[in-house]
Structure 1
């Protein structure tokens, strides 16, 4: 297995670290030549400053695209057309129709296309997913997500909905195992070019709901969610991976070992390429998340709910 890393700034450097750790990193590509050289030396692989030069010189099975969102479509398209398996960091594309185009190219060439919705691999989410699947605490009724932090320095081209809220949009669909029927949102900007705070309501069938609150205003880092079930409220922390279950008979904190979600995510991608397991984040899921982000921005602009017909 040979995998190339495209983009080593921001979160991309973490992908490179794990790919090297797993012994599959074969080349680095970054238009910032000094950074490309740095990671090339660090991991003893070749480096390139453009995708074209990399593709002309390297033989590889898959690529990780960890570049600014507006570049995702063209980079992924070139790779998919050469029948490479592609992992694109979230959001997969800025426009949902571009994501649909990538999905069709991947299907045509029979390769795997996925996107970096990492919380599906967070042990806290996995544990809640199992409780929901088995209905251990009754039916899942409502989800509440809270993400707060200062704006990351490497985010330049999107607002908080596309950068941050999309994680919880995807997690809500994963836990409900469904797509929402309606989106209603309020967002605004105080310190940044794009929206830096947003609250989104996703309405699912049978009156189930997810409330997603995100901001780049507060100085502390918060990454938490609550799952309200028929017989319990399950509180979880994405950072500490702690899960707390409160029922009428008291509270319980099940023991759970810490694991790095990114490592689990990358292992799933590699195993899917090898045919050993299914890809957990399908390209269709990533397209739906982008459609919901688009709807949230539109809802905030219009001040009205946006009704969806997702598959």
Structure 2
């Protein structure tokens, strides 16, 4: 029996929302029914006539099964809560919410109503991250640099919630222990919130992670180094490469042997949206569910209080 296609609403048609709209329209497993934005001029005039437009997100409720929420963070909770309470599946961009309390409430409602709550930590769909998740077992030290050129569209939150939250999610995925201690340093440079920050996370069991994030750099960079017993990995997320350095056994001239793994760049957003749709059908589980999104908000909140 042919299953009914999911009806989708896209809420927020700004810079990132337009990409969400494109991916959903091109996904044959769903039908994009509605787009919602406070400014209808953001929505292309040549949009398929079958896709309806509105400024009122509540208007779309009877017509949709799931939403993609790509609005400013400050209204994530209000909108996500409305749809979860009405038993609709929700894909919500990172950061999940402004506060831990809000994140906990969304997780509770999603569980109660047995609907999908997925959070858009896009780096998890990078093929490099998929390899690391399968290969890394006992990291001792992780060093991360995430640098971005200034973009005024994301300054409603600080650099921790804007950029570093990706790396918080990555590090806490690779290190399964709980965080024991946090130290942080950050400064406001050109906005009213922290623009550059360095954070040290110490975990039970002894592992340590050092994270640096800047949104006022002259270049974009997303790199991570991971050290384990007798080996380490140098990873470039932007270029989809992993260089693995392994300690040589015996009396070889070189202390380390190295091997490079290069991956074809994939469409991470397309993969994320496909994972969401299949999760709504019960065919997969979200790679980043509400609990994981909540955990990232908890750590980002703790760090922000130290700045």
**TM-score, structure 2 length as denominator?**
0.91
Q: What whole-Å deviation, never above 9, does each CA across 1:201-257 have from its counterpart, x for those lacking one?
A: 111121101111001222111111111111211111111111111223421112422
Residue 4 of structure 1: how far off its partner (Å)? 1.0
Matched with 1:203 is 202
Note closer, same or farther for the CA distance 1:245–1:42 as it changes in structure 2 (3 Å cut).
farther
Q: What whole-Å deviation, never above 9, does each CA across 1:256-295 have from its counterpart, x for those lacking one?
A: 2221111111111111111111211121111111111111
Q: How many positions carry a matched residue from both structures?
A: 292
Residue 19 of structure 1: how far off its partner (Å)? 0.7
Matched with 1:52 is 58
What secondary structure sits across from 1:217 in the alignment?
A: strand
Contact conserved, 1:120 with 1:174, CA < 8 A, in 2? no
Matched with 1:14 is 19
Matched with 2:9 is 4
Distance 2:93 2:293 in 1: 10
Equivalent residue in structure 1 for 2:97, among 90, 93, 98: 93
1:168-179 to 2 correspondence within 5 Å? 168-179=167-178
Structure 1 runs (4+) deviating above 6 angstroms are: none
Contact conserved, 2:155 with 2:191, CA < 8 A, in 1? no
- More helix by percentage: 1
What secondary structure sits across from 1:250 in the alignment?
A: strand
Matched with 2:287 is 280
Structure number with greater Rg is: 2
RMSD: 1.6
Distance 2:7 2:192 in 1: 39
Distance 1:177 1:20 in 2: 37
Contact conserved, 1:183 with 1:201, CA < 8 A, in 2? yes
Contact conserved, 2:8 with 2:33, CA < 8 A, in 1? yes
Residue 119 of structure 1: how far off its partner (Å)? 1.2
Matched with 2:3 is none
Distance 1:26 1:227 in 2: 44
What secondary structure sits across from 1:206 in the alignment?
A: coil
Distance 2:46 2:68 in 1: 16
Q: What whole-Å deviation, never above 9, does each CA across 1:164-199 have from its counterpart, x for those lacking one?
A: 010000011111234422221111111111100011
Q: What whole-Å deviation, never above 9, does each CA across 1:4-35 have from its counterpart, x for those lacking one?
A: 11001121111111111103222211111111
Q: What whole-Å deviation, never above 9, does each CA across 1:113-160 have from its counterpart, x for those lacking one?
A: 12111111111111111111xx4xxx3211111011222221131110
Matched with 2:306 is 299
Residue 110 of structure 1: how far off its partner (Å)? 0.9
Matched with 1:190 is 189
Matched with 2:124 is 120
Residue 43 of structure 1: how far off its partner (Å)? 7.9
1:1-311 to 2 correspondence within 5 Å? 1-23=6-28, 24=30, 25-36=32-43, 38=44, 41=47, 45-55=51-61, 58-132=62-136, 135=137, 139-248=138-247, 249-300=256-307
Contact conserved, 1:117 with 1:167, CA < 8 A, in 2? yes
Unmatched tracts of structure 1, length 5 or more: 301-311
